[in-house]
Amino acid sequence: MAALCIAVNGLVLLGVHGAAVNYRTQEVVSAALRVVHLIKRGDLPAVVVSAAEGVQVLNTDSEVVASTANLRGYPRLLTFTPDQDNASRTQEVCGLEGFDSPCQIVAVFRVYEEEGDWMVYAFGGTVPWYVHPWVLAFLIGISLALIALTWFGTSRTVERTLAPVEAIRQKLDEITATDLGQRVPVPPNPDELHALARTANRTLDRLEAAVEQQRKFASDASHDLRSPITAMRTQVEEALLHPEEAEWEQTAHALLASLDRLQAIVTDLLTLARLDAHEPQACVPVDLAQLVTAELEGRPRGKEVKLDLRPDVAVDGDRVSLARLLTNLLDNAERHAESALAVSCYNEGSDAVLEVLDDGAGIAPEQREFVFRRFTRLDASRNRDAGGTGLGLAIAREIAEAHAGTLGLADSPAGARFVLRLPSKGG
């Protein structure tokens, strides 16, 4: 508004100044014409009374024969005259004596007489750039009023507009890691602030879920880590109570078993930490059939494994991570199988599919997602295998999702059927 006022005021002053200059010029010309009429009537006095700031009348001999009182006794002030073809001329002149204004608008008229041409010079002060102090004061006053009104209106509008943002900010300040149940207020109008508040609340929902998962993860991890440590402490304390009767070799084997479980938990936790950090992994072509064959040859299974491996089932991914995923699925199937497990891989559309099926008791449909949570082991699993870490299936799903794939449970006649889907190399 200030810039607009400056521009408008400049244009207004320019227009008003031009009009004022024209008006002043007309005043000087009119004053000169009145003197011309006096000359023509023969009524020219020695001291001329005029509305102009000054008048000088020169006869044919260029002598000053009449003037206003302020120019009485002054010699001829100007020498320029109208052209021979013109009777009048106007011009701006500066630096003349006898005037308060530094510059003058001069109108000179040629008066035709029988004995020769007379000259009438009329003087009027030039108009300043601001025209008049009242004009400048009026424009400044209007500009200040408009700027103040604009500032007030804009500040009130911005204040009302940003009030929801301030409410959101205050509510976010109140929300801490221990109090994630609060949500920011959502403005009623469906605008950008409404969308911002809804996005903030969705972010808080995800944050609350992540923090809750972290708390549960920490609780489960501390419990699972405490169990082998407590067992080792108990075994050592029992042996120290009666060192002469203790079976130290048996105690050592028991400690090694607890240490193996502790090492397995720590290894799985580090693997999950790397997966959560989304560390970059190698991406090479991997043939799933060859991967299954290599894993079964490297670690013979205690139960029968039936294979149905189709050729050319290839994906792009990290071979070590995919081997870890397959090992976790095979270990899980072997723990729960009654007598045998089956592994198959094939192409289905643009997906490479790997299935691991056991002939155990299976998993109820309502618990199929539950088994992929960290440190989750069903009651049947706890009874059959107390040494599991509860992280194998969670790690397997994380690896699958890191490869833009999915891992889930599907219906099967008997046992649990784990289905891995990855984008095939051909697709």
| Mean pLDDT (whole number) for 318-336 | 89
Q: What pLDDT score does 169 carry?
A: 81
Least confident of 113-117, 165-169, 412-416: 165-169
Q: Which of 93, 100, 16 is closest to 53 using CA atoms?
A: 100
Same domain assignment for residues 111 and 14: yes
- What is the span of the domain harbouring residue 57? 2-125
How many Å apart are CA 316 and CA 295, to the nearest integer? 18
Residue 258 one-letter amino acid: S
Same domain assignment for residues 240 and 325: no
DSSP per-residue letters across 239-282: HHHSTTT--HHHHHHHHHHHHHHHHHHHHHHHHHHHHHTT----
| Mean pLDDT (whole number) for 36-43 | 91
Same domain assignment for residues 235 and 304: no
How many domains is the chain partitioned into structurally? 3
DSSP per-residue letters across 384-425: H-TT--S-HHHHHHHHHHHTT-EEEEE--SSS-EEEEEEEBS
Same domain assignment for residues 263 and 284: no
pLDDT digits (tens, 9 = 90+) for 205-236: 888 877 777 777 777 677 667 777 888 888 88
Q: What pLDDT score does 178 carry?
A: 67
Is 201 a domain residue?
A: yes
Least confident of 37-41, 326-330, 384-388: 384-388
Same domain assignment for residues 294 and 238: no
Same domain assignment for residues 417 and 301: yes
Residue 313: alpha-carbon gap to chain centroid: 44
Is 58 a domain residue?
A: yes
Q: Is the pLDDT of residue 143 over 90?
A: yes
Q: What pLDDT score does 2 carry?
A: 94
Q: What pLDDT score does 426 carry?
A: 60
CATH number at residue 331: 3.30.565.10
Is 180 a domain residue?
A: no
How many Å apart are CA 406 and CA 220, to the nearest integer? 25
How many Å apart are CA 215 and CA 209, to the nearest integer? 10
What's the chain's average pLDDT?
A: 86
Same domain assignment for residues 247 and 319: no
Q: What pLDDT score does 280 carry?
A: 64
Q: Is the pLDDT of residue 84 over 60?
A: yes
Q: What pLDDT score does 382 carry?
A: 44
pTM confidence score: 0.51
Bigger pLDDT: 225 or 321?
321
Q: What pLDDT score does 85 carry?
A: 79
Q: Is 150 exposed, middle or buried (0-12, 13-18, 19+ CB in 10 A)?
A: middle
